[in-house]
Structure 1
Amino acid sequence: MSFVRWKKNKQVLFIVSVIALCCLVITSICGLQPTREQIREKLKTLGIENSCKVLECDITATCDTVLDQEVNRIQTIEDDLANERCPENLNFIGEISSSEKNMPLAFSIMAHRDFPQFLKLFEAIYRPQNVYCVQIDSKSKLEFRKKVDKLLSCVRANEEERAFLSKSNISLVWQHSSLLEGDLSCLTQLLVNRLPWNYYINIVGSEFPLVGNAQLVSKLESVRNPIGFVHIKYPHKEVADRWKYSHILVEDYVVRTKIEKTLPPNGIKMMYGLKNVAISREFSEFCINSEEGQDLREWLLDVQTSIEHFYPTLALYYLTHKGIFPEKDAYELLNEWKMRQTIWFNNPNFNCYGKIKREICVLSLGDLPSILQMDGYMMNKFDSDLDFSIVHCLSEMIRQ
């Protein structure tokens, strides 16, 4: 067929355009997943010396063996937990620095599925001096909940409050205020916990750290404000529309109504940013117990993606209204380090070698060079059903 005849067929041209776009956005579909050798060369070009067994193997059988060993280890752990036994082959980091011991942290983890991913995440962030609250989606399978509960019971030993499931039964829905409520429920329980902690860190089960606990503590030691790290941005019109009208939940979808909302409480200036934060115990108390925090929490119940507004709004309010910093300085200090990184579908600087889900790249091994160039704590997002090898590789790298 000539180019002229093909060009006239608009329907075919549209289909071809869509396929071409898929090649750019979801490159793994088009068979462009880089080889291990290409990934190693890319890391070398970037000056990244860290590696892992998954990358170093060149013979397929050997590489399969590396992954099979880890898959078998996790399967053994799952079998033990399902039978109410504490596994003997959990892979926690043994050596703990004095700085880590002197700065215990409190973590909340929201999760709903994918136990292998949850296990790898928990093994990466667990330290015996820290405290952990896990908020599981009420819609999750009972089998998943039982495995997580048993895992937590195995690590907490005689300290019942060291690692625990949240007492709240919440159906977690994307873009809904239930995500904020699940987060704040864990924070509330951690605040009344008798065990000490300095900073609160909120993450989800599909994330994985780019750095170890020691590096996280080092970053927190460098904080130059009373709060910590809270990503904040001034809202553009599309974001501001989230709180112009009331939103309701219809069959697990957030739907905007025609009911106009009142202005934000206490004349507070609305901000937005990443949901992931690292906040001091003092500011955590303010979020939960202050009149401003409670009023904002209630007002956000019918706001779309409220979890992206609660902490940024209160953080700027806290630093400016207490006269601690002028707004410009507060904005810069809170944004000094990102607590989460994400590759979005429309990022011109990155290809996604995994797959796009809700406009976010679910990562695969081919994305490793891209994410290792990013500066931040957690990387979003992973799924063991798509590619287990990338998290297995990262877990080895952050131990080096």
Structure 2
Amino acid sequence: MRQLEWTKRSFLLCLGISVLICSVIYLRARMPAQPKPQEPPRCRTFCTECKALLPVLEEGLEWYRRDCQVETYILKSRMQCSALTRELHFITRPLSLEEEDYPLAFILTIHKELELFVRLLRAIYMPQNVYCVHVDAKAPWEYRAAVRKIVSCFQNVFLSSRSETVTYAGFSRLQADLNCMKDLSKSKIGWKKVVNLCGQDFPIKSNLELVQYMQGKQWRDRNMTPGVKQPPAMSHRTQLQHREVMGSHVAQKGLGLKKGPPPHDLQVYFGTAYYALTRAFVDYVLLSPIAHDLLEWSEDTFSPDEHYWVTLNHIKDAPGSHVNGGWAGEIRAIKWKDQEGWAHNGCEGRYVRDICIYGVKDLQWIINTNSMFANKFESKTFPEALDCLEQWHRNKVLNQATVTIEPSWLLATTVHSNSSNFNSSAGT
């Protein structure tokens, strides 16, 4: 009996030890593995020409972009909005009291390149501003759904209540801006001026610099619509009747059918389609019989957005009018092909409709212009140019901030050139 009892105890002891060992092995297997050192992101590195525009780093350090898959985040991510905006590096607080006290409104008219839209929006985004996004009605459903998704994450960003099928140089392009203006006029945000953008623009000035520029002596309480009396070479645009082939092109009606004179004996001006307008002027555009009559008269003209705003801004009684403005107002840095050799030294990217699609070697010229925005960029054709200007711009924005910088606002970090360990950097 004693031997049986000893054998039983020995068996139970062995069984207990075995259970203990198995439990330890099981628990260790369930424990999360030690985190591996973070690998450098597989982003495009900044090229040599770009590094010359960025802050100089200590020897052995290099700039690395943190943001490589913008479209993937939007199209495939199931993140909540708080995580999505953080991962996409949106700025979430006003950066200065001066900016907070002078909110701006933006109209973005887009139809392609989702990545470029998101990068433009985050470059100009500030929580005190308000943004109306007009998506071309002919844009693919997937594109419109993706834009709707990102817009839904912000209380101060919304889609235009009416979407146009936009035609290049057509009345529909002007109507798209007016649709957003009607929506913005109802906004509870007390915006001071509205700026219109297309999807291939990118800012040069920071939000603070935009505020300071628009509040400066020259432009305080004034509209910015660069342009002059319509030159004879452009008179066919408004003297002959045109028709818009929806979503395709604009053509003359018949064999040169002439239009009647502009209403109210208005002098027609010619200028840029881009502007910075006071809120009072926007109300005038929406409510004035003169503005309404000019709009109706413009329906069968060629590229009416290039005469409508600047013509109204030369009416003496219009709020914020600038009757002697001429081409004043540094709104857009654009390299026109016919200005090559005197306004600029050529396009380092490629010309499309005689406008330069910027390459990275064009950036120094862009920065030197001191304009508000630059046009045009393509995220797929010349991605290095957009990468570089975006980082240069974000560095400037954060350097001017009077609040503590959040880590998620950084678009790039520094990394040792021979190591995978990242260093936190504010981009200064």
Class of the TM-score when normalised by the shorter of the 2 chains: 0.7 to 0.9
Number of the residue aligned with 2:198: 204
CA contact (8 A) 2:313 2:320 kept: no
Q: SS where residue 70 of structure 1 aligns? A: coil
Number of the residue aligned with 1:190: 184
Q: Give the CA deviation at 1:350.
A: 2.2
Q: SS where residue 228 of structure 1 aligns? A: coil
CA contact (8 A) 1:343 1:350 kept: no
Number of the residue aligned with 1:145: 144
What amino acid maps onto 2:162 in structure 1? Answer: S
CA distance 1:312–1:57, shift in 2 (3 Å) = farther
Q: Give the CA deviation at 1:52.
A: 6.5
CA distance 1:102–1:311, shift in 2 (3 Å) = same
Q: Give the CA deviation at 1:38.
A: 5.4
Q: SS where residue 275 of structure 1 aligns? A: coil
Is residue 2:153 matched to residue 1:164? no
Number of the residue aligned with 1:27: none
CA distance 1:296–1:244, shift in 2 (3 Å) = same
Q: SS where residue 133 of structure 1 aligns? A: strand
Which digits, 9 at most, give the CA deviation of each residue in 1:48-104, with x for residues without a partner?
A: xx4269xx8999xx88xx46x422355334422xx4743141212355111111111
Structure 2: how far apart are the matches of 1:179 and 1:224?
26
What amino acid maps onto 2:188 in structure 1? Answer: R
Number of the residue aligned with 1:292: 290
Number of the residue aligned with 2:72: 75
Structure 1: how far apart are the matches of 2:252 and 2:59?
52
1:345-356 mapped onto 2 (5 Å cutoff): 345-346=337-338, 347-348=340-341, 349-356=344-351
Q: SS where residue 252 of structure 2 aligns? A: strand
Which one of the candidate residues 229, 232, 250 is aligned to 1:234?
A: 229
What amino acid maps onto 2:170 in structure 1? Answer: H
1:297-336 mapped onto 2 (5 Å cutoff): 297-317=295-315, 320-321=316-317, 330-332=323-325, 335-336=327-328
Q: SS where residue 233 of structure 1 aligns? A: strand
Bigger shift: 130-139 or 350-359?
350-359
Q: Tell me the C-alpha RMSD between the 2 structures.
A: 2.6
1:24-173 mapped onto 2 (5 Å cutoff): 36-37=47-48, 50-51=53-54, 66=64, 69-72=66-69, 74-80=71-77, 83=78, 85-86=80-81, 87=84, 88-93=86-91, 94=93, 96-156=95-155, 162-173=156-167
Which digits, 9 at most, give the CA deviation of each residue in 1:334-355, with x for residues without a partner?
A: 7442211211122212221111
TM-score (norm: length of structure 1): 0.78
Q: SS where residue 127 of structure 1 aligns? A: coil
CA contact (8 A) 2:200 2:377 kept: yes
Number of the residue aligned with 2:365: 370
Identical counterparts, % of pairs = 26
TM-score (norm: length of structure 2): 0.73
CA contact (8 A) 1:220 1:228 kept: no
CA distance 1:224–1:357, shift in 2 (3 Å) = closer
CA contact (8 A) 1:206 1:383 kept: yes
More helix by share: 1
CA distance 1:171–1:233, shift in 2 (3 Å) = same
Number of the residue aligned with 1:253: 249
Structure 1: how far apart are the matches of 2:329 and 2:73?
38
Q: SS where residue 260 of structure 2 aligns? A: coil
Number of the residue aligned with 1:342: 334
Structure 1: how far apart are the matches of 2:187 and 2:180?
10
What amino acid maps onto 1:242 in structure 2? Answer: R
CA distance 1:39–1:72, shift in 2 (3 Å) = closer
What amino acid maps onto 1:51 in structure 2? Answer: L
CA distance 1:249–1:70, shift in 2 (3 Å) = same
Q: SS where residue 264 of structure 2 aligns? A: helix
What amino acid maps onto 2:107 in structure 1? Answer: S
Q: SS where residue 361 of structure 1 aligns? A: strand
Number of the residue aligned with 2:281: 283
Which digits, 9 at most, give the CA deviation of each residue in 1:195-227, with x for residues without a partner?
A: 221111111111000111000000011144633
What amino acid maps onto 2:146 in structure 1? Answer: K
CA contact (8 A) 2:359 2:385 kept: yes
CA distance 1:57–1:137, shift in 2 (3 Å) = farther
Is residue 2:383 matched to residue 1:388? yes
Gaps of 5+ in 1: 1-34, 44-49, 157-161
Structure 2: how far apart are the matches of 1:107 and 1:379?
15
Number of the residue aligned with 1:273: 271
Structure 2: how far apart are the matches of 1:248 and 1:57?
60
What amino acid maps onto 1:291 in structure 2? Answer: P
What amino acid maps onto 2:196 in structure 1? Answer: N
Number of the residue aligned with 2:239: 244
What amino acid maps onto 1:308 in structure 2? Answer: E
Q: Give the CA deviation at 1:250.
A: 3.1
Which digits, 9 at most, give the CA deviation of each residue in 1:320-342, with x for residues without a partner?
A: 246998xxx7323x744221121
CA contact (8 A) 1:350 1:370 kept: no
Bigger shift: 355-364 or 83-92?
83-92
Which digits, 9 at most, give the CA deviation of each residue in 1:364-383, with x for residues without a partner?
A: 21211221111211100011
CA distance 1:345–1:224, shift in 2 (3 Å) = closer
Q: Give the CA deviation at 1:358.
A: 0.8
What amino acid maps onto 1:300 in structure 2? Answer: S
